[in-house]
């Protein structure tokens, strides 16, 4: 089978198509013939050598795929050869075949093209699990950084279905307008003083929840933007890993700073999240309450171009590799 290999940690030019023996479905697993693989910022980090796969996972890049089941491992029930599916992975997605624990495989949302579905489950699982983690609820205000990325576009729409007021940041007039089209109540250019804008639009109260993909660069500003009993959840490190945290600022607000990662969770946790996505999120997608993001498709052979686009910051929505 064809796979994407990394010759050495570095830029997109180090991605090449090579051949490898296809995997097989071990007990409790299914083997998926991949039709499409989502491209995520975690993939860029792995290519650069900063985000190795968890122990036991494939070292092939790729955290989500859509395709068809071609083999059932011992003890797998509820699936048949030929069934279309989407899968949440710890690795292995940039390949023509991938083996996956059956609990991390769900059917795609009804009415959605299978290729488009290949770029949905990672964002859906990330958004659902993190908003559950910080208990976002109706009537609260949430600030979502990176509103036009794969996670951001999903998070804006899902937060609106909960009944939250949504603020977001993005980097251009076009992107800010897209955030508003997706349902954001307010959208701020991150090149400007978004902290002051958040304070003004919340009458100085701050926001209840922040979903942050930036990390260290925004830590102080994020804490300053939290309301009493506010919760900051960090899910990305685009702005670095280390920053100074003023604990007194947390104390006076009774605030919480937490960070999560989806990739390294145990299989049972991932299976529970995948099942929750199928039960609670896919019906919203099918009903049109959550629309799939804009997407740019690349052939597997053009994977270096796909990575370059995502790294450029010019991309809007989802980047998808097709087989």
Q: What is the pLDDT of residue 313?
A: 85
- Residue 288 in this model has a pLDDT that exceeds 90: yes
Is the model's pLDDT at 314 over the cut of 90? no
Strand 256-259 and strand 226-234: the pairing is parallel
- Tokens 């209840």: give the residue: 208
Structure tokens at 43: 């993939």
CB 211 within 8 A of CB 143: yes
- Which residue is associated with the tokens 């059956």? 102
pLDDT category of residue 210 using cuts at 50, 70 and 90: very high
Decide: pTM greater than 0.75: yes
pLDDT class for 79, splitting at 50, 70, 90? Answer: very high
Listed residue (132, 94, 65, 111) closest to 277, CA to CA: 132
List of domains in the chain: 2-120+263-322 (3.90.180.10), 124-259 (3.40.50.720)
pLDDT of residue 201: 98
Return d(Cα 5, Cα 290) in angstroms, integer. 34
- Is the pLDDT confidence value at 180 over 90? yes
pLDDT for residue 123: 96
């Amino acid at each position: 089978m064809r796979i994407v290999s990394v010759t050495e940690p570095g830029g997109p030019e180090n991605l090449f198509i090579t051949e490898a023996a296809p995997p097989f479905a071990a007990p409790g697993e299914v083997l998926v013939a991949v039709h499409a693989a989502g491209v995520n910022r975690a993939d860029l980090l792995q290519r650069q050598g900063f985000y190795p796969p968890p122990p036991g996972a494939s070292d092939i890049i790729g955290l989500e795929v859509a395709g068809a089941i071609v083999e059932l491992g011992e003890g797998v029930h509820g699936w048949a050869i030929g069934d279309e599916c989407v899968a949440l992975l710890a690795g292995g997605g940039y390949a023509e075949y991938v083996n996956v624990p059956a609990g991390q495989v769900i059917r795609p949302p009804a009415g959605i093209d299978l290729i488009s579905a290949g770029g949905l489950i990672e964002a859906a699982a990330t958004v659902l699990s993190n908003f559950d983690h910080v208990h976002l609820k109706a009537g609260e205000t949430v600030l979502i950084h990176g509103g036009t990325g794969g996670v951001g576009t999903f998070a804006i729409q899902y937060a609106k279905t909960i009944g939250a007021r949504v603020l977001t940041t993005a980097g251009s007039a076009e992107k800010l307008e897209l955030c508003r089209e997706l349902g954001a109540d307010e959208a701020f250019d991150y090149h400007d003083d978004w902290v002051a804008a958040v304070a003004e639009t919340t009458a100085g109260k701050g926001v209840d929840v922040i979903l942050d993909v930036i990390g260290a660069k925004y830590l102080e500003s994020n804490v300053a933007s939290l309301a009493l009993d506010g919760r900051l959840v960090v899910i990305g490190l685009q702005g670095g890993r280390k920053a100074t945290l003023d604990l007194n600022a947390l104390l006076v607000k009774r605030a919480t700073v937490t960070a999560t990662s989806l990739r390294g969770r145990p299989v049972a946790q991932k299976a529970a999240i995948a099942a929750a996505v199928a039960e609670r999120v896919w019906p919203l997608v099918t009903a049109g309450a959550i629309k799939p993001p804009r997407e740019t498709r690349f052939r597997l052979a053009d994977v270096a171009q796909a990575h370059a686009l995502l790294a450029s910051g010019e991309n809007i929505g989802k980047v998808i590799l097709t087989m």
